[in-house]
């Protein structure tokens, strides 16, 4: 009697089919990792702005600067946050400018996409208006329209002493 020295064709086909089924079910879980990472990064940026604002507002309240502000940021408060420059505030919260956000959070933020930075900002008309922060290399990079390529955090500073700032994540196209 002769010994069998390998796999039969049927055994090989069955193994290939099983591997194919496993690949089809497992692949979608790994394909979307970059999108999930971008969304998580936006959550982190939102948390960083909220944390910085919490500390700035606390210092503003201690120094009596939390009531200073206006709808166009022409009247501002100022808080010493231990950085080289004091933080300019609107109703006790950070203004939505590249200077104030980068100063308070010690991040590489720019309003010019030709400059090498980790984050970019599309500022509003002044420090009291909404600004969009997006990561370098994100879907929003290089496109300033808001109908497509939406992967950013919108930070809107406080508009009065009774209104808190808002933080909205738009991650449709991450």
Q: What angle do CA 24, 32, 173 make, to 5 degrees?
A: 135
- Rounded to whole angstroms, the Cα distance separating 90 from 115 reads 28
Residue 32's φ and ψ, nearest 5 degrees, are -90, 15
Report, as an integer, the average pLDDT of 51-73.
91
The answer, yes or no, to whether residue 58 has pLDDT greater than 70, is: yes
Q: Give the pLDDT score at 107.
A: 87
Smallest CA-to-CA distance from 152 within 33, 42, 44 is with: 42
Task: With beta carbons less than 8 A apart as the criterion, state whether 92 and 57 touch.
Answer: yes
The structure tokens listed for 163 are 């209104």
Q: How confident is the model at residue 75 (pLDDT cuts 50, 70, 90)?
A: confident
Lowest mean pLDDT among 57-61, 88-92, 169-173: 169-173
The answer, yes or no, to whether residue 86 has pLDDT greater than 80, is: yes
- Rounded to whole angstroms, the Cα distance separating 20 from 109 reads 45
3-state secondary structure of 34: helix
Q: Give the pLDDT score at 37.
A: 87
The answer, yes or no, to whether residue 3 has pLDDT greater than 90, is: no
């Amino acid at each position: 009697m002769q010994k069998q020295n390998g796999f039969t064709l049927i055994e090989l086909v069955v193994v290939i089919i099983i591997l194919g089924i496993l690949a089809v079910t497992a692949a979608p879980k790994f394909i979307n990792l970059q999108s999930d990472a971008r969304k998580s990064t936006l959550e982190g940026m939102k948390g960083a702005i909220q944390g910085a604002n919490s500390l700035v507002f606390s210092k503003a309240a201690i120094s009596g600067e939390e009531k200073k502000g206006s709808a166009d940021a022409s009247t501002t408060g100022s808080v010493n946050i231990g950085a080289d420059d004091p933080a300019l505030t609107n109703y006790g919260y950070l203004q939505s400018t590249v200077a104030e956000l980068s100063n308070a959070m010690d991040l590489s933020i720019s309003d010019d996409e030709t400059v090498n930075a980790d984050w970019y900002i599309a500022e509003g008309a002044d420090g009291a208006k909404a600004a969009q922060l997006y990561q370098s290399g994100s879907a929003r990079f290089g496109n300033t329209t808001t109908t497509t390529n939406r992967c950013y955090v919108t930070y809107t500073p406080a508009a009065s002493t009774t209104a808190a700032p808002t933080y909205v994540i738009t991650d449709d196209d991450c």
